[in-house]
Amino acid sequence: MTTDSVDNEMHPILGIPWQKMPRHIAIIMDGNGRWAQQQGKPRLEGHRSGSKAVRSTVTECARLGVECLTLYSFSTENWKRPREEVNGLMHLYAHYLINERPTIMDNNVKVRHLGSEEGLPDFVIKELHETVRISQSNTGMTLCLALNYSGRSELVGAIRRLAADTASGKISPEDIDEQLVSDALDTTGLPDPDLLVRTSGEMRVSNYLLWQIAYAEFYVTEVHWPDFSTEVLHQCICEYAKRNRRFGGLKPAGF
Q: What is the pLDDT of residues 186-198, one digit of tens each?
A: 999 999 999 999 9
Q: State the Cα–Cα distance between residues 149 and 207, nearest whole angstrom.
A: 9
Per-residue pLDDT for 6 more than 60?
no
Q: State the Cα–Cα distance between residues 211 and 217, nearest whole angstrom.
A: 14
Per-residue pLDDT for 246 more than 90?
no
Per-residue pLDDT for 3 more than 60?
no
Across the chain, where does the E strand assignment appear? 24-28, 68-75, 110-114, 142-149, 195-198, 217-220
Nearest by Cα to 24 from 85, 82, 80, 65: 65
Could you list the active site residues?
A: 30, 78
Fold of 22-150+193-239: Undecaprenyl pyrophosphate synthetase (3.40.1180)
- The string of pLDDT tens digits covering residues 53-78 is 999 999 999 999 999 999 999 999 99
Q: State the Cα–Cα distance between residues 217 and 131, nearest whole angstrom.
A: 30
Per-residue pLDDT for 35 more than 80?
yes
- pTM listed for this prediction: 0.93
- Give residues with Cβ within 8 angstroms of 152, minimum separation 6: 207, 210
Helix (H) or strand (E) holding 100: none
